[in-house]
Amino acid sequence: MDLVKWGIIGCGNVTEIKSGPAFQKAANSKLVAVMRRNAERAQNYAQRHNVPKWYDDAEKLIHDPDVNAIYIATPPSTHKFYTLKAAQAGKPIYVEKPMALNYAECEEMISACRNVGVPLFVAYYRRALPRFLKVKSLIDDGKIGKVLSVNMQLRQPSKQVDKDPSNWRVNPKIAGCGYFCDLGSHMIDLIQYQLGKIKSVKGFALNQCGNYETEDIVNAVFEFENGVVGTGSWCFNAFENFDSTEIIGTEGKIVYSMFADAPVTFINKNETENYFIEHPAHIQQPLIQNIVDELLGRGKSPSTGFTGSLTNLVIDKILGRI
């Protein structure tokens, strides 16, 4: 393989800017086919993005001989189904996050891909963004000394769409849980990339306001394998927007926002330094380039099926599923 030729299953909103164009702009990568159940929308997407082929049947895209890698951008409830289909076809897979509805499904996906020798990647693209790589480098270089603890907080006001029955992000049968799965998964994945595997976690999840079926507030405490301890708090009915991760060490701390366009801040006794690092126009492009490079034998992706499954494992433990 000298060119990764992608096919997208599920060309919805996430593919318009975040990911779709990145497959065209990454080196040695090309988007050659897209699929959506609505044929008219699939054709429209293909025409707008200069994609030569479109389908309304995922099987046809998976078995298209011109497609040699599959990106699954459907809601989580179908991630396992399409991953198993793509694995049977022997094609590398890049699946949206969260990886699946639960950890058990993740294990099935990993096993299916391993059995046929197909690589599996997950769209935790913050692992490849320069802004968050700066955070990791500050930690790894010892700028804050020995890391002691981390505190993650995300608060958002309720939204009008919360009461819309078509909002799949708060439908547990489609999303796995609520906004905690959609947004909290990014935070849990990134902190494990920065600090290592979480080995122990306890959590509380409640539905306080009744706007939808799933949890709307989640609190958790956890311990990493290296002895770092931490807390997480996610509230989706607050009066304000607040988004902060604080990593505290013996010599200083790092503060950053997961979703807001804000600087990474390094603080110790003597100085405060802000690092303003812009995200790329297509936010998944750095990770997609990592994946392409790995498929071509030129690099390594930081986000795999195994690392993605660890986030589902932590989520399941917080929600009391296992």
Is the separation of the CB atoms in 292 and 28 below 8 Å? yes
Instruction: Tell me how long the chain is.
Output: 322
Which letter does DSSP use for residue 82 in this model?
H
Instruction: Return the structure tokens found at 33.
Output: 């086919």
Q: What is the reported pLDDT for 1? A: 78
Taking alpha carbons only, the member of 140, 63, 128 closest to residue 304 is 128
Domains of the chain (ranges, CATH numbers): 4-126+284-303 (3.40.50.720), 130-278 (3.30.360.10)
With 0-12 / 13-18 / 19 or more C-beta atoms within 10 angstroms meaning exposed / middle / buried, residue 166 is exposed
Q: What is the pTM for the complete model shown?
A: 0.97
Ordered per-residue pLDDT tens for the chain, 322 residues: 799 999 999 999 999 999 999 999 999 999 999 999 999 999 999 999 999 999 999 999 999 999 999 999 999 999 999 999 999 999 999 999 999 999 999 999 999 999 999 999 999 999 999 999 999 999 999 999 999 999 999 999 999 999 898 999 999 999 999 999 999 999 999 999 999 999 999 999 999 999 999 999 999 999 999 999 999 999 999 999 999 999 999 999 999 999 999 999 999 999 999 999 999 999 999 999 999 999 999 999 999 999 999 999 999 999 999 9
Peptide bond into 286 cis (omega under 30): no
CB atoms within 10 A of CB 208: 11
Q: d(Cα 158, Cα 236) in Å, to the nearest integer?
A: 6
